Each structure stands twice: as structure tokens, then as C-alpha cells.
Amino acid sequence: MKSVKNNTQVLINCRNNEKLLGHVKAFNRHCNVVLENLKEMWTEVPKSGKGKKKSKPVNKDCYISKMFLHGDSVIIVLGNPLITGK
């Protein structure tokens, strides 16, 4: 509720091991969330060819203007520590 009232960012950890950083516009008791101006972050491990060493994981991200997130995929919702620490 604090994020909706103050328009602060939250970090949501999802079941598919992706993280979403954005502003909550609405939510309900099932943790369904409407997010705006969010950044989706994940890690990919490139496929290595024959005889090559293991590839290092690469952090990737993408901007999404609006998203509805189903509550089943939410693991935890964290307030932005830089803002909530004040």
C-alpha cells in the first residue's frame, strides 16, 4: 500500500527467477499486481560449443511500460531499500 500511495518502486522476485523493478499502480489480496515503468531483469547462460569452456552467465534487462503480473508467480515483494530506509 505504501508503494501505491507514495509512488515508490518495489522489487518483485518471480518464480521464473526473474526480478521486476517498477511502480505498483494496483494490487489485490491474491498478489495480482499492475505495474508501470518497470525493468525486468534476468540471467542467461550462453550455450557453449564443442570443446569450449563453460560460458559465463550474462545479466540482461528490458523495459516494460505496463504489466499485469499474476499473483501465482510472485515470491516476494520488497520496497526499494534506498527509499524505505529514510
Say if pTM beats, i.e. exceeds, 0.85. Answer: no
Is 12 within 8 Å of 19 (Cβ atoms)?
Answer: yes
Residue 17 DSSP symbol? S
What pLDDT sits at residue 10? 93
- For residue 78, list its beta bridge partners: 11
Domains, the chain, in order of start with CATH, read 1-79 (2.30.30.100)
Angstrom distance (rounded) from CA 73 to CA 6: 25
| 2 pLDDT above the threshold of 90 | no
pLDDT tens-place string over residues 21-76: 999 999 999 999 999 999 999 999 888 766 667 778 899 999 999 999 999 999 99
Q: Which residue matches cell numbers 516476494?
A: 76
